[in-house]
Amino acid sequence: MRRLFAKRRKKKFGLYKMKNLLLTFLAFTVYSANSAQTQTVGVFTNTENSYDGYTLYAPIPGFNTYLINNCGEVVNEWTSDYRIGLSAYLLEDGSLLRTGQLPSYADHPFSGGGTGGRLERFSWDGDLIWFIDWADDDHHHHHDIEMLPSGNILLISWEGHSYEEALEMGKNTTQTENPVWCCQIIEIEPTGSKGGNVVWSWSAWDHLVQDTDPLKPNYGVISDFPRKFNINYSNGNGPNQGAGNSDWMHCNSVDYNAELDQIMICSAKFCEFWIIDHSLTTEEAATEAGDLLYRWGNPQAYNRGASKDQKLFHQHDAHWMDEGVMLYNNGKNRPEGEYSTVEIFELPQMEDGVYPIFSDEPFMPTSNYWQYPQEFDPEFYSQNISGATRLPNGNTLICEGGSGHLFEVMPNEEVVWSYVSPITAFGPTTQGSDPGNTSVFRTYRYAFDYQAFVGRDITPGDVIEFNSWDWGCTTTSVETSNRVKEISIYPNPSYDLFFYDSKNIGQIDVYNLLGQLVSSISKSQSGKTSFGQELEAGYYIVIFTNSITRYKTESRIVKQ
């Protein structure tokens, strides 16, 4: 049952009733002069089938991390001196563990995508209680962190090596003379209110193979070493493509499995996720014992497949779940078209502590066993960042990161909760305006009974965006499917017809504020189209249905 919250801000249009719209013509005119009538941010959909809880997200353009309820109202908020860099987690004790982007990133030796450099922990009340900077001329944190059961923290780090060092490891001399940043996983034991001890580490640099120089000790046939990294591999996927680019691996997530004592790493440039053994000592991890236990997504990386065998495309957020491994497959340079999918894979059973691989074959499986959406959807796409998690009720919470679009889908793909971040580089935006960059790296939802909330004041406050619209935060009879691509409607308000410019609109449904269908129009033509001449004066919700994808877009109009 949907939980209702009593504390609501009285918003502008919530004060007006339908029968008074003609008397408030001036108010609507003033409003329309200052902002569009189409919703652009905040909660778009919230039905009784969504999973009730609190959603945590840290907008990339901002300095704050927000915990909101399903109505978009702020339950708690943390402010840092640093922009997110890029992940944040709410811990069981109510503290916030987040990353920060050090301001020196622009001219630092490590200036790639996802740059962070700082880890910090805030109390529930927003006080900074611990931090560490992991950034020098040879190492730099980026993207993600992971809290371990021990209280230690895993972080992803770039480990810098000169071009000359790379040549000694068999780097191809025909590639650009850039330094090489290898993926490194560091385990930090926090100390006091500042700093920490490095208690464990693993580096991809210790597990390289090459087939260009037989005089080097790591020379070999690439396909004979599927658990090592080809230093000359170049997929050409992702930002700043190619092995000649310093950030040639671009790892973007780290996850830990306590039962297996294993670590999962997601590499966008290799288009794979990897599993390594955390039970080894640091010294053992630098030997062959620290080679990959498992890898999946792109067997071209170890010469056991062709382009047709590549399954992942610049993916993010690979992590364990009860049913296997879930990740967000961004779809950049996907041969079938650039569209995203959320996918689940089943890991093979381990044999003698390792994941099996057959001679001359890639690691199994051959494909995923679940994905959203099941059919091609060109409107669902984020070329970078993004993530997804499975909720306790079986729904999936998805972060379409590039657009700051957070939404929840049921197993049948029905969208039951939808939200667009209103945070820009200038702070919260105004409802109805074009927000520009509102990107979000990832999001999580925590249940009402999560330990962090015990004994806390979780009274919801206001929504984040300015000039927000009050829809009562209850399930309405107007079903939308979460497509927030704006359709331009003009003039709005209108005395007569409404025009819109959008192709492939097959159906237009108009609802009043009670959720009652008042007009339904089937359209076969594309391009400039009109509707609404038959509508009486009032305020309406318009649902446009795409004739090809069947996805829906919601807008608001005022008939005068």
- Beta bridge partner(s), residue 500: 489, 529
pLDDT of residue 362: 98
Amino acid at site 283: E
pLDDT of residue 37: 57
Binned at pLDDT 50, 70 and 90, residue 408 comes out as very high
Amino acid at site 451: Q
pLDDT of residue 332: 96
- Of 184, 117, 87, nearest to 399 (Cα)? 87
Q: Is 363:294 a contact under the CB 8 Å cutoff?
A: yes
pLDDT digits (tens, 9 = 90+) for 146-198: 999 999 999 999 999 999 999 999 999 887 788 999 999 999 999 999 999 99
pLDDT of residue 244: 64
Binned at pLDDT 50, 70 and 90, residue 98 comes out as very high
Helix, strand, coil distribution of the chain in percent, nearest 5: 10, 40, 50
Q: Is 154:185 a contact under the CB 8 Å cutoff?
A: yes
Q: What is the DSSP letter of 173?
A: T
The three-class DSSP label of residue 267 is: strand
Binned at pLDDT 50, 70 and 90, residue 19 comes out as very low
pLDDT of residue 14: 31
User: For 432-469, what is the HEC assignment?
Assistant: CCCCCCCCEEEEEEECCCCHHHCCCCCCCCCECCECCC
Binned at pLDDT 50, 70 and 90, residue 486 comes out as low
pLDDT of residue 440: 98
pLDDT of residue 420: 96
pTM, two decimals, is: 0.80
Element (H, E) at 29: helix 25-34
User: Is residue 46's pLDDT more than 90?
Assistant: yes
User: Is residue 253's pLDDT more than 70?
Assistant: yes
User: Is residue 544's pLDDT more than 90?
Assistant: no
User: Hey, what CATH topology would domain 35-116+133-217+234-453 get?
Assistant: Methylamine Dehydrogenase; Chain H (2.130.10)
Binned at pLDDT 50, 70 and 90, residue 103 comes out as confident
Opening angle at CA 317, ends 314 and 319, nearest 5: 130
Q: What per-residue string of b and e applies to 53-76 under the rule 16 or more CB within 10 Å gives b?
A: bbbbbbbbbbbbbbbbbbbbbbbb
Binned at pLDDT 50, 70 and 90, residue 521 comes out as confident
pLDDT of residue 245: 84
User: Is residue 2's pLDDT more than 70?
Assistant: no
The two three-digit tokens of residue 283, written as one number = 């010294």
What is the side-by-side strand order in the sheet with 294-296?
Answer: 251-257, 262-267, 272-277, 294-296
Binned at pLDDT 50, 70 and 90, residue 250 comes out as very high
**CATH 2.130.10 location in the chain:** 35-116+133-217+234-453
User: Is residue 526's pLDDT more than 50?
Assistant: no
pLDDT of residue 105: 56
Task: Compute the distance between CA of residue 349 and CA of residue 95 in angstroms, rounded to an integer.
Answer: 36
Task: Compute the distance between CA of residue 102 and CA of residue 83 in angstroms, rounded to an integer.
Answer: 8
pLDDT of residue 240: 43
In terms of Cβ atoms closer than 10 Å to its own Cβ (0-12, 13-18, 19+), residue 521 is: middle
Average pLDDT, the chain: 87
pLDDT of residue 523: 66
pLDDT of residue 29: 34
CA 354 vs CA 225, 232, 560: distances in Å: 15, 26, 70
DSSP 286-349: TSGGGS-SEEES-GGGGTS--GGG---SS-EEEEEETTEEEEEE--TT-TT-S--EEEEEPPPP
Binned at pLDDT 50, 70 and 90, residue 400 comes out as very high
DSSP 221-259: -GGG-TTSEETT-----SSS-STTSS-SS-EEEEEEETT
The two three-digit tokens of residue 226, written as one number = 């599927």
Of the candidate CATH numbers 3.30.310, 2.130.10, 2.60.120, 2.60.40, the domain formed by 1-34+487-560 belongs to: 2.60.40
Binned at pLDDT 50, 70 and 90, residue 92 comes out as very high
User: For 510-534, what is the HEC assignment?
Assistant: EECCCCCEEEEEECCCCCEEEECCC
> Is the backbone of residue 413 left (phi > 0), alpha (psi -120 to 50) or beta?
left
The two three-digit tokens of residue 307, written as one number = 């382009």
Q: Report the sign of the C-alpha dihedral through residues 222, 226, 230, 235, in that order.
A: positive
Q: Is 503:527 a contact under the CB 8 Å cutoff?
A: yes
At 262, give phi and psi (nearest 5°): -130, 155
**CATH 2.60.40 location in the chain:** 1-34+487-560
Mean pLDDT of 91-120: 89
